[in-house]
A and B are shown apart, each in its own frame.
Chain A
């Protein structure tokens, strides 16, 4: 288990750096797919089966395939999108500062959650039956409301894509 964790952790960090660092959008997406798969394995080791499946089906499956389609359709040839001096130059320092701040907050949050959990979580936490039960009883309002958020997104796409002529 520990070996699996370290393998996944190294793959995760390595691919994350590759996503940000590579100049080719396609390489970034491939890195992200590997990243998400490794994350799913990590979820499995934490016995969060449902989350692991969702990670694979939704993120690695649907969203990243969509990314690939967008890149394939929008970029002609294999020219990197950003070249030369046009890149945002002053981002490095604020980005690192924000990243460190976010990391600090997350670390603090995890520590707090750990210290408070005097009562250990129920044994079936994260399993598919427990998740499904909670989704359709406790959180049924959120479950239903999500349907309308998705409907709004669909109507929005129809409205924007249905234009006869798009001027840029």
Chain B
């Protein structure tokens, strides 16, 4: 008699709802060839809201299913919410893109949804195999999505670059996992903490290779070289999704790893601190000379990934709350900024160039004010979410020994450098306008919804952070 594994479907209900949504989108696309894109994306949005509803009863609980292989707990729940939020806004922004000949909206929406499912699996996985499968699902979908702006050569370049470098990083990751398995004798993260305590070259080598794979996906320096090109080449909605969702999912993995595996030994994470400091320097300095907003936000994302690592410094579970808060702030300000780019460009990718924003403050004062809000939040000015997030990060880092202090210093210096970068964008909006830019400004209702969601999030988290912090 074979012992079957007890499966609690409630725990995995959000994933099941999203899977059903993805399949439904594919079937609707198959049955009615003439279904408008907006209908398909709308199904996706409704599905992600339904998945969110399925997540509500799981809040604050520590549950596992599939014999402990998948968990819904404080390491996955908040990250799952961010993933669903990102999916919803990205699908809304996708409605804007120009309908291209030969484009396949059904497959596009399904890939975005399955990409999110990969993120949910990553956040909930408690075994190395689960982490790897979630990551591959997320990555494979993103490789294709990066190329969906395909008549542009830069989109093809982005897809090719991403798939080649990403596969290499996956190779590092799985080799590292094999060594970790060898040293721990188990694929479960809980069992790995003994091996982490014992240390040994096999575990250290395995963790180093694992970290390379994770750092690549997080775009931590020096594994960030793909980021600007891929962000620039991908369609705008995909870039927005990539910037937020991948970070949310990977930080869920990293947080679980840091607390479950290294619960009592933060010194083993020193390589991660070094990567964080490097990222803050490279990201902020690299952003200075960028004239394309997508590239600028890519470098900004590298620096922000470095900031986010700070949350994991120091022992104690307080780090997860800080991490989630800054990730939420990051999600709102980035999605907001990308939504403004979509609004101005009206689906035209060329409008990510900084020169298109000259004189925006006089042409479209409302849009410019909101863009300014997002960039002030990225810089970390008081009364925005970015400020509160950075204060929390600094508090977390200062209690984490010399490496924490070093990272705190890097964060402050990096922030000062980034002021120059972000104020440059704001300055452009107040500069005299080019004549030809004026006529082509877009104004679509869908992107207004996304911009408004971002602005409300940034302001609420900036002025009344207790709204979120009280629940973490």
Which A positions have Cβ atoms within 8 angstroms of B? 102, 105, 108-109, 112-113, 116, 133, 136-142, 145-146, 148-149, 151-153, 155-156, 158-160, 162-168
Complex: how many Å from CA A145 to CA B147? 24
108-127 of chain B: CB within 8 A of chain A: 108, 110-111, 114-115, 117-118, 121, 127
Query: At the interface, is chain B mostly helix, strand, loop or mixed?
Result: helix
User: B338 an interface residue at 8 Å Cβ cutoff?
Assistant: no
Q: Which of A140, A141, A158, A166 has the most CB of B within 10 A?
A: A141
Task: Evaluate contact between B137 and A158: CB separation under 8 angstroms.
Answer: no
Task: Evaluate contact between A141 and B144: CB separation under 8 angstroms.
Answer: no
- Whole-angstrom distance from the CB of A50 to the nearest CB of chain B? 17
Query: Considering only CB atoms, which chain B residue lies closest to A168 in the complex?
Result: B156
Given contacts A137-B3, A149-B133, contact A164 B102 (CB under 8 A): yes
List, in ascending order, chain B residues with CB within 8 A of A151's CB.
114
List, in ascending order, chain A residues with CB within 8 A of B205's CB.
105, 108
User: B460 an interface residue at 8 Å Cβ cutoff?
Assistant: no
- Whole-angstrom distance from the CB of A106 to the nearest CB of chain B? 9
Task: Evaluate contact between B101 and A164: CB separation under 8 angstroms.
Answer: yes
The 7 closest A-B pairs by CB, nearest first: A164-B102, A156-B144, A141-B66, A141-B69, A159-B107, A142-B129, A145-B133
Task: Evaluate contact between B114 and A155: CB separation under 8 angstroms.
Answer: yes
Query: Considering only CB atoms, which chain B residue lies closest to A132 in the complex?
Result: B2
Query: Considering only CB atoms, which chain B residue lies closest to A154 in the complex?
Result: B107
Set A109, A149, A155, A164: member contacting B107, Cβ < 8 A: A155
Set A112, A148, A159: member contacting B144, Cβ < 8 A: A159
Task: Evaluate contact between B182 and A162: CB separation under 8 angstroms.
Answer: no
List, in ascending order, chain B residues with CB within 8 A of A136's CB.
2
Given contacts A137-B67, A159-B144, contact A108 B137 (CB under 8 A): no
Task: Evaluate contact between A109 and B144: CB separation under 8 angstroms.
Answer: no
Task: Evaluate contact between A163 and B110: CB separation under 8 angstroms.
Answer: no
Which B positions have Cβ atoms within 8 angstroms of A? 2-5, 7, 19, 26, 65-67, 69-70, 101-102, 104, 107-108, 110-111, 114-115, 117-118, 121, 127, 129-130, 133-134, 136-137, 140-141, 143-144, 147-148, 150-151, 153, 156, 175, 178-179, 182-183, 185, 200-202, 205
**Total A-B contacts with CB atoms under 8 angstroms apart:** 107
Complex: how many Å from CA A168 to CA B156? 9
List, in ascending order, chain A residues with CB within 8 A of B19's CB.
148
Query: Considering only CB atoms, which chain A residue lies closest to B135 in the complex?
Result: A149
- Whole-angstrom distance from the CB of B141 to the nearest CB of chain A? 5
- Whole-angstrom distance from the CB of B149 to the nearest CB of chain A? 12
Query: Considering only CB atoms, which chain A residue lies closest to B115 in the complex?
Result: A152
Task: Evaluate contact between B133 and A159: CB separation under 8 angstroms.
Answer: no
Task: Evaluate contact between B104 and A158: CB separation under 8 angstroms.
Answer: yes
Given contacts A109-B179, A139-B129, A142-B129, contact A160 B144 (CB under 8 A): yes
Query: Considering only CB atoms, which chain B residue lies closest to A146 in the complex?
Result: B133
28 examples of A-B residue contacts, CB within 8 angstroms: A105-B202, A108-B202, A112-B182, A112-B202, A113-B182, A136-B2, A137-B2, A138-B5, A139-B129, A140-B5, A141-B70, A141-B127, A142-B127, A148-B118, A148-B137, A149-B118, A149-B133, A149-B137, A151-B114, A155-B107, A155-B110, A155-B111, A155-B144, A156-B141, A156-B144, A159-B104, A160-B144, A168-B156
